[in-house]
Amino acid sequence: MEQFQPDRLSPAQVAAMRRSIRGGRAALTRRSLLRSGAGGLLAVGGLGALGACGIPPAGTEQGGVPAEDHSEKDRTVNFSNWTEYMDVDDGGGRRHPTLEEFTRRTGIRVTYTEDINDNSEFFGKIQAQLAAGQETGRDVMVLTDWLAARLIRLGWVQKLDPANLPHAFTNLSPQFRNPDWDPGRAYSYPWQGISTVVAYNKKALNGIEVRSVSDLLDNKKLKGRVGFLTEMRDTIGMMLLDMGKDPARFTDDDYDAAVARLQKGVDTGQIRRFHGNDYTSDLTKGDLAACLAWAGDIVQLKADSPDVDFVIPESGYITSSDNLLIPNRARHKTNAERLIDYYYEPVAAARLAAYINFVCPVEGVKRELAKIDPDAAENPLIIPDEEMRAKSHAFRSLSAKEETVYEEKFAKLTGA
Amino acid sequence: MTLTEAPAPPAPAAPPPAARPRRRGRFTPYWLLLPGILWLLVFFALPMVYQASTSVQTGSLEEGYEVTWHVAAYWDALSGYWPQFLRSVAYAAAATTLCLLLGYPLAYLIAFRAGRWRNLIMILVIAPFFTSFLIRTLAWKTILADGGPVVGALNALHVLDVTGWLGWTAGDRVLATPLAVVCGLTYNFLPFMILPLYSSLERIDGRLHEAAGDLYARPVTTFRKVTFPLSMPGVVSGTLLTFIPATGDYVNADLLGSADTRMVGNVIQTQFLRVLDYPTAAALSFVLMAAILVMVTFYIRKSGTEDLV
């Protein structure tokens, strides 16, 4: 840049200015200029701007907000799901046979995206759009019970049209029919059921017996080698069952007692850590001798590492589900409903169940599954028998206030 | 600028076309600044204002959030989570010190002694960046596994008895303890220490070392009086590049730590995503930013290298 030479100042002034620009304590540097400029801007503009922000209240229209349905002329559907939650073909593993079958049959092309990794994170991702009443670009998505309940409560998902869901209506397993957050399934249908069980590594246990959640917390020989889940409802639910409480009807005091019991495990170093999806390698390596785990993972782990096994505590286990939901302003609602219904046909459901090993929510699938994989058809973790169903418990839905208070307490327990 | 602004020029000497370069000259710097300023406005200033606003709001998702100037969120953030703040600073400081101790000799080696191996070593320093941050951190779960060779060796040498007594490890394991988190932080941020150190060491004129030797300085004295002072800009920018992101990091504490090694980054993540307490999360972020700013300013003043960046 050219040298700045002011010409309406006296030579002495010019000299002084140059000095001030070039050196000295009060030198006018780019940094100090930016500093004062930014400070002034923030002071003047900031306070005014702060007041203008805010998040509008959630729309609470019952039944959600529809958009114009483009299903007829635009034969596609946008499907958001969790990773490894869909069958894949043997070669390459990039194609999904059940989805291809759906397209062949209906002519509806499925844009399948595995962009859900964590319920909380996914909520953070779509929250702003749904709160602002914008479309998310998704027609159907899969979310766990408590988040599905929250979205229904906030009025951010659409009511389903039963006329498009004949198979789903008939074939839905009774166990999943009436969750307290969506009685009669007006807004959601389960994709898969999830059982929370106690898993262990036989080699790491070295003869120590683990049959209940209490064993995890009380056996001093397991100090620093047991883990619990970061999903509040799974960990607290199993704890409540262990204490003889009903997760479907517990009080604030029961909740606090469960947290206190776990807190003792944290304080004494009995509990190694709270884990999300990342526990599987710890369990196979034996760093975790026993932990709370999701049965679907354990079915898959067992195939590779014979040391890993699970036990259903005498006091029962927690069942939840991942649910198909249609968000507000989805552009292909009818196509999405047809997709949901398709997965309630026993043949499609069996092909899916044979591949992903979670609890299948579809009645009458056992016969179809036996044709593909007889072992899977007899596995109570995939198709629960009477005994399994009797031990299964659901965590009750929480009000918005309870959710905040409980999550806060659970966050304190897990370290923050 | 200089020429055309001269007072009372002879009229015919300034034909109209000459006015063009003058105007262009005056505004060019601003045009050049524009992309940067816009970037800062959109991706720094606006989010900051939005966050500042969030931190003084109250409400819930159902009722919406409104600015109520509820500054108590700051007090709650500090009084509720000061242990995590202290822990973050302590872990980041430990990791930064370790990075400096590990990184300086390596940077010195690359700059002065590596010869034709220089490029290869540089590539080795940068190579871990070719895989994802998450994968690199998860790899430490295998390295430090309870039954693994590292922990076995440390146990055999009774090192874990000492670290356990200091409270850095628990029992005969390293994973899910403070030591594991600090190891992860050190490993993940080491290149950010080595690169600036290398670039300032490499600039040192080798003849200065010869001169020091000619003046009967022993190698240690040469290092203390010549090399180290000249590498200060690298030390300062290296420590800043390590310390600042390490303080806010939450991945290492999440994957390698346990309930009592959670850092402030974990608290912010939990408050924002799980508890849905957006104001507290925003207030925590601001307190963290302010704390880092104060510490960094103090540090730069102390080390006397204000013109380094």
ipTM: 0.83
- Over residues A224-246, the mean pLDDT reads 96
On whether both A308 and A216 belong to a single domain, the answer is yes
On whether both A245 and A116 belong to a single domain, the answer is no
On whether both A171 and A203 belong to a single domain, the answer is no
* pLDDT score recorded for residue A8: 53
- Over residues A36-42, the mean pLDDT reads 50
What are B185's two structure tokens? Answer: 């932080």
Longest dimension (CA), chain A: 100
Q: Is A11 domain-assigned?
A: no
* pLDDT score recorded for residue B309: 44
What are A135's two structure tokens? Answer: 């479309």
Asked if the model's pLDDT at residue A1 lies above 60, the reply is no
Question: Any residues with CB less than 8 A from the CB of A240 and at least 6 apart, and which?
Answer: A246, A247, A250, A254, A255, A258
Question: Any residues with CB less than 8 A from the CB of B219 and at least 6 apart, and which?
Answer: none
Q: Is A51 domain-assigned?
A: no
By Cβ distance, the residue of A53, A272, A416 closest to B81 is A416
CA distance A295 to chain B (A): 22
What are A236's two structure tokens? Answer: 């607290």
CB contacts, 8 Å: A120 with chain B: 273-274
A334 or A297, higher pLDDT:
A334
* Helix axis angle, A145-154 to A119-131, nearest 10°: 10
- Over residues B205-219, the mean pLDDT reads 93
> B259 vs A124: CB contact, 8 Å cut-off?
no
* pLDDT score recorded for residue B302: 84
Domain count across chain A: 2
Pick from A290-304, B4-18, B34-48: least confident: B4-18
Query: Cα-atom radius of gyration of chain A, to the nearest Å?
Result: 28
On whether both A277 and A409 belong to a single domain, the answer is yes
What are B125's two structure tokens? Answer: 């320093």
On whether both A240 and A357 belong to a single domain, the answer is no
Asked if the model's pLDDT at residue A145 lies above 90, the reply is yes
Residues 213-252, chain B, touching A (beta carbon < 8 A):
none
CB A354 within 8 A of CB A382: no
Q: Give the domain ranges of chain B.
A: 1-47, 76-303
- Over residues A113-124, the mean pLDDT reads 91
CB B200 within 8 A of CB B233: yes
- Residue position matching structure tokens 């941020």: B189
> A53 vs B54: CB contact, 8 Å cut-off?
yes
Instruction: Give dist(CA A292, CA A310) in Å, integer.
Output: 9
- Over residues B271-295, the mean pLDDT reads 93
Q: How confident is the model at residue A357 (pLDDT cuts 50, 70, 90)?
A: confident
What kind of fold does domain B76-303 have according to CATH?
A: MetI-like fold (1.10.3720)
Q: Is A26 domain-assigned?
A: no
Pick from A64-68, A312-316, A406-410, B51-55: least confident: A64-68
* pLDDT score recorded for residue B107: 96
> A266 vs B57: CB contact, 8 Å cut-off?
no
Q: How confident is the model at residue A235 (pLDDT cuts 50, 70, 90)?
A: very high
On whether both A350 and A301 belong to a single domain, the answer is no
Q: At residue B63, what is the residue type?
A: E
On whether both A187 and A111 belong to a single domain, the answer is yes
Asked if the model's pLDDT at residue B288 lies above 70, the reply is yes
On whether both A293 and A409 belong to a single domain, the answer is yes
Q: Is A38 domain-assigned?
A: no
Asked if the model's pLDDT at residue A54 lies above 80, the reply is no
CB-based contact, B259 to chain A, within 8 Å: yes
On whether both A353 and A309 belong to a single domain, the answer is no
Q: At residue A76, what is the residue type?
A: T
The 10s digit of each residue's pLDDT in B87-110 is 999 999 999 999 999 999 999 999
* pLDDT score recorded for residue A140: 97
- Residue position matching structure tokens 């600090």: B182
Please name the residue ranges forming H helices in chain B: 19-40, 46-55, 72-108, 118-126, 133-143, 149-156, 159-166, 178-202, 206-214, 219-222, 228-230, 232-248, 251-256, 264-273, 278-303
* pLDDT score recorded for residue B300: 86
The 10s digit of each residue's pLDDT in A360-394 is 999 989 999 999 999 889 988 889 888 888 999 99
Please give the mean pLDDT across all residues of chain A.
87
* pLDDT score recorded for residue A28: 43
Report the residue of A3, A55, A62 to disrupt the B interface, i.e. the one with the largest count of B CBs within 10 Å: A55
* pLDDT score recorded for residue B129: 87
Report the residue of B42, B55, B62 to disrupt the A interface, i.e. the one with the largest count of A CBs within 10 Å: B62
CATH no. for residue A302? 3.40.190.10
By Cβ distance, the residue of A55, A266, A278 closest to B259 is A266
CB contacts, 8 Å: A54 with chain B: 53, 57, 64-67
On whether both A181 and A264 belong to a single domain, the answer is no
On whether both A404 and A279 belong to a single domain, the answer is yes
* pLDDT score recorded for residue A29: 46
CB-based contact, B64 to chain A, within 8 Å: yes
For residue A308, give the nearest of A324, A294, A328 by alpha carbon. Answer: A294
Q: How confident is the model at residue A66 (pLDDT cuts 50, 70, 90)?
A: confident
Q: Is A61 domain-assigned?
A: no
Asked if the model's pLDDT at residue A143 lies above 80, the reply is yes
- Over residues B180-184, the mean pLDDT reads 96
Nearest CA in chain A to B138: A278
CB atoms within 10 A of CB A36: 11
CA distance A279 to chain B (A): 10
What are A235's two structure tokens? Answer: 């960990």
CA distance B178 to chain A (A): 12
CB contacts, 8 Å: B184 with chain A: none
What are A192's two structure tokens? Answer: 């898969």
List the domain range (segments joined by +) for residue A251: 196-318+400-413
Q: Is A376 domain-assigned?
A: yes
CA distance B47 to chain A (A): 11
* pLDDT score recorded for residue A26: 41
Nearest CA in chain A to B280: A408
By Cβ distance, the residue of A124, A131, A408 closest to B275 is A408
By Cβ distance, the residue of A51, A269, A281 closest to B170 is A269
Q: Is A91 domain-assigned?
A: yes
On whether both A374 and A347 belong to a single domain, the answer is yes
Beta strand pairing call for A189-201 and A392-393: unpaired
Residues 121-180, chain B, touching A (beta carbon < 8 A):
138, 141-142, 145-147, 170-171, 173, 175-176
CB-based contact, B5 to chain A, within 8 Å: yes
CB B247 within 8 A of CB B88: yes
